[in-house]
Amino acid sequence: MVSAEELADELRTRIDSHFEWLLVRANGRTFPLRKTEIDIECKSGKVLMGVFDDAGFGVSRVRSVEVDGNELVLDLISQFGRSRETASLIPRTSARELSHSIDLARLQRANLIGAALIEAFPTYKLSRIALNAENGRLAQIFARSSSGKEIALLIDVTGTMIHEAVMTSAVLWSEKLRLRKKPINEVWIAGERKQAKNLQKLVGLFNESAAAKFRIFEISNDAENPKLKELNKPRSAARWREKPRKLTLPEELRPSETASRILALASAQTDVIFSKQGETIRYRGLPFARVRTVASHEKAWFGIDSNRRALTEDSWSELVSLVNELETYRSDDTPNNRHEFYRASPEAWLESILRRNIKLLDANLILSPLYNQFRASTDKIDLLAIRRDGRLVIIELKTSPDRETVFQAADYWRKIELQRRRGELRRIKAFGDLEILDKPALVYVVAPALSFHRDFELFSRMLAKDIELWRFELHENWRGSIRVLGRSSAAEFY
């Protein structure tokens, strides 16, 4: 049987072997600790462990220790014997070690894809594989044929990036490759099934010259032995063969009794968004309350982000206090422009302003009364409008530079255009009795003048001519008043 002194010595030795540890309590709470912050001593034949946690410095008796790899599983009793728990000490990997292991795993994945590339194109040999210096989730693979022809393949080795982000990286990489002494004029992009299909659809929205610069490959889901399969470039007519998502909008949207009562607290600044999951009440675009109706019974919650609590008559005064706080800090004349209420969800704030009066942007626009109030969980389109002449307008809002804006807008255009061509918008009467013109929808990208990404024009030039993109530049103080400083068509960038 191990004595208390031997147990204490063994525990000290194991703790000293790692600089940082993570203490995991039985209740799931975790506390990062340095080895110098864990005090082990032997006293009166008992092993005591002292650590700092959120309750301050605490001492527990260590009854036994089990070693599971590098993890230490401790059977602990509180100092006064009132409670017993099983806690764990787990070595914390340093940031450098963690980064190294992540990079290694990503490079291993890139090498597997490189092998798949050579298997699909046996006349080539791998010449270089590296992670992208700016974004380590992307790997760049080069291969060269016996004749000296070189190909460049870009892959998201994590499989987590949105396809628009992958494409913007591919475009910028392509621009660099074309400037080399021996230019590479074509970039190949590989992704797993969903990502590859979305990239294929996006390339289908490019003009002929831009589309010719890219080839899309699908990676099979075999983790150990992946294969590459090239996807055909969709022709213009093939865009519209896809079956559109069926729109099911209610004929009328009325706030529930609870939602109406909440809206009345600040009717000029609040609105409600309806979804299948219930109603979301927003203050200048920031969600602060939700209502669900279950079996004709209304249940409500309020709070910002994860700090939510049930709304009852007893907690109603807390909701009123929250609204008063929002009135103070989510305002263009806030006393603290660093307050979380002022800084949160700026694009939703801009959207809420335009939803109340879209004519601030363009006097010829009419918003869809239903489409913009009812949101499916997958909807990303900011606003859908119609001009007085019947032309559809997709409005994409940004308040900070976003490299993916152009390609995101193009994706939204494809989805709305598919619904227009198949008659879905007419069927649900998205604009009441107004006639929708039989012409492709327009896209308005709206942002403060200094918030357009520097590569906006480069990406805009890549789109097919039937995607008519307009750039609306707002005054920087859009929270105080909407002023359009300038508008220009992407056609001017060609």
Closest-CA residue to 397 (of 480, 473, 492): 473
Instruction: Show the tokens assigned to 324.
Output: 């008063």
- Tell me the whole-structure pTM to 2 decimals: 0.79
CA distances from 70 to 21, 24, 36, 52, 200 (A): 10, 14, 18, 22, 46
Q: How far is CA 456 from the centre of its chain?
A: 20
Q: What is the pLDDT along the chain (494 residues), one digit of tens a residue?
A: 678 888 899 899 999 888 888 888 877 777 888 888 898 998 888 899 988 766 667 788 998 898 887 789 999 987 556 678 888 898 887 656 667 777 888 999 999 999 999 999 999 999 999 999 889 999 999 999 989 899 999 999 999 899 999 999 999 999 999 999 999 999 999 999 999 999 999 999 999 999 999 999 999 988 789 999 999 987 776 777 787 777 776 666 789 999 999 999 999 999 998 887 789 999 999 999 999 988 788 999 999 977 789 999 999 999 999 999 999 999 999 999 999 999 999 999 999 999 999 999 999 999 987 666 655 444 566 899 999 999 999 999 999 999 999 999 999 999 999 999 999 889 888 888 899 999 999 999 999 999 999 999 999 999 999 999 999 999 999 999 999 999 999 877 66
How far apart CA 303 and CA 282 sit, in angstroms, is 11
Please tell me what DSSP assigns to residue 214. E
Query: Rounded to the nearest 5 degrees, what angle is found at the Cα of 198, between the Cα atoms of 456 and 167?
Result: 35
How far apart CA 33 and CA 438 sit, in angstroms, is 66
- The string of DSSP letters for 125-161 reads EEEEEEE-SS-TTEEEEEEEETTS-EEEEEEETTS-S
CA distances from 61 to 26, 30, 42, 48, 81 (A): 15, 19, 10, 5, 9
308 burial type by CB count under 10 A (0-12 exposed, 13-18 middle, 19+ buried): middle
67 burial type by CB count under 10 A (0-12 exposed, 13-18 middle, 19+ buried): exposed
Torsion over CA: 37, 41, 46, 47 (sign): positive
What residues form DSSP beta bridges with 478? none
Stated length of the chain: 494
